[in-house]
Amino acid sequence: MEQLRKGLEELKPSNYLALHALPGYGKSTLVSETLQDDDLATDLFQKEMYWIKFGSEQSVAENILTQLNMLFHRVRNLDLLTEPTSEDSLKYFLRHHFSKHNHALLILDDVNRREIIEAFDFGCKTLVLTTDTDILRGKKCDIIEMNEGFTPKESLALFAKAIGVDASELPKQARQIHEECKGMPLMIAMFSAQFEDVKESLIEGDKRADTWSYYLDALKKKKSAVLQESLDKLKAIFEMCINKLSKDEIHYYETFAIFPEDC
Ligand SMILES: Nc1ncnc2c1ncn2[C@@H]1O[C@H](COP(=O)(O)OP(=O)(O)O)[C@@H](O)[C@H]1O
Ligand SMILES: [Mg+2]
């Protein structure tokens, strides 16, 4: 967090700061926590911050137009009811706005295409959360790498908190689970949530060792190439959590849907 704070303090209008890590390494969480500091947000950005989350459901061109529109409405403080305007006029308006508000912070979350960087180049301060820093080639950009994940101590503290025991009481499998996950925050958080649900069987009883081994073995079964490995393991954790649901819960899970506000 200190490194991010420092990077934000040194970030100048027109320049970029990139947080670089694989998905699930805590980029969005870290930014959100850092920007909750009111003093920092006021001193550096006069509280003008626009968080734009890019999804992968749309084509890049559609994504850009949708997000330019949303930004335009947020900047103008309008409801999202008016008809979309053309891409050029949106960019013209936003460039004009940010030329007078170049202290503002634009947060481009989950951006992996250069076209998006170009479309949102408005001369203000820009923070980019990405898995690929090549998209910022040629821009004035500082990069913060965050592929470290949690330390064993941090992972064990989260497991212990979820189960309600002291970290020293955790069995060796807990540490091995951390190692298999390489401390990836998303995986550790998912395990913690799962452990909270089954905490009794992880603390006591004849099956205690078997329960811990069940989780460890589910992870170990997935052995593959380096980058794919994290994703496969993530899938294994999802499957493992789903397999532990009751019949009713599985039904809820399968019929669960989220409707974003602008649908
Ligand atoms: N510092 C943290 N403490 C506890 N859990 C965390 C922390 N950072 C990340 N996580 C967990 O990991 C998940 C993934 O983090 P996220 O910020 O969404 O990653 P990214 O943006 O890099 O894909 C979060 O939903 C949260 O559960
Ligand atoms: Mg994220």
- What domain range includes position 166? 152-255
Q: Evaluate whether residue 122 is within a structural domain.
A: yes
Residue nearest to ligand 1 atom 16, measured at CA: 26
Q: How many domains does the chain have?
A: 2
Tell me the backbone φ, ψ of residue 44, rounded to 5 degrees: -90, -35
Residue nearest to ligand 1 atom 8, measured at CA: 26
Could you say which of 113, 145, 177 is where a domain stops?
A: 145
Do both 130 and 18 map to the same domain? Answer: yes
Q: What averages of pLDDT result for each successive group of 10 residues across the chain (263 residues)?
A: 94 96 90 95 95 85 92 79 78 92 96 95 96 94 91 96 94 93 89 88 84 87 58 72 79 78 55
The verdict on the CB of residue 24 being under 6 Å from ligand 1 is yes
Residue nearest to ligand 1 atom 12, measured at CA: 186
Could you say which of 107, 124, 145 is where a domain stops?
A: 145
Instruction: Please tell me the predicted confidence (pLDDT) of residue 235.
Output: 73
Q: Ligand 2: distance of its center to the CA of 157 in Å?
A: 23
Do both 55 and 162 map to the same domain? Answer: no
**C-beta separation of 76 from 50 below 8 A:** no
Tell me which residue has tokens 């990405």: 130
Instruction: Please tell me the predicted confidence (pLDDT) of residue 238.
Output: 74
Global pTM?
0.80
Instruction: Please tell me the predicted confidence (pLDDT) of residue 13.
Output: 96
Q: Evaluate whether residue 260 is within a structural domain.
A: no
Instruction: Please tell me the predicted confidence (pLDDT) of residue 206.
Output: 79
The verdict on the CB of residue 28 being under 6 Å from ligand 1 is yes
Scanning the chain, the segments in alpha helix (DSSP H) are 2-10, 27-35, 38-45, 60-76, 87-100, 114-119, 152-163, 172-180, 185-197, 199-203, 208-220, 226-243, 247-255
Instruction: Please tell me the predicted confidence (pLDDT) of residue 224.
Output: 47
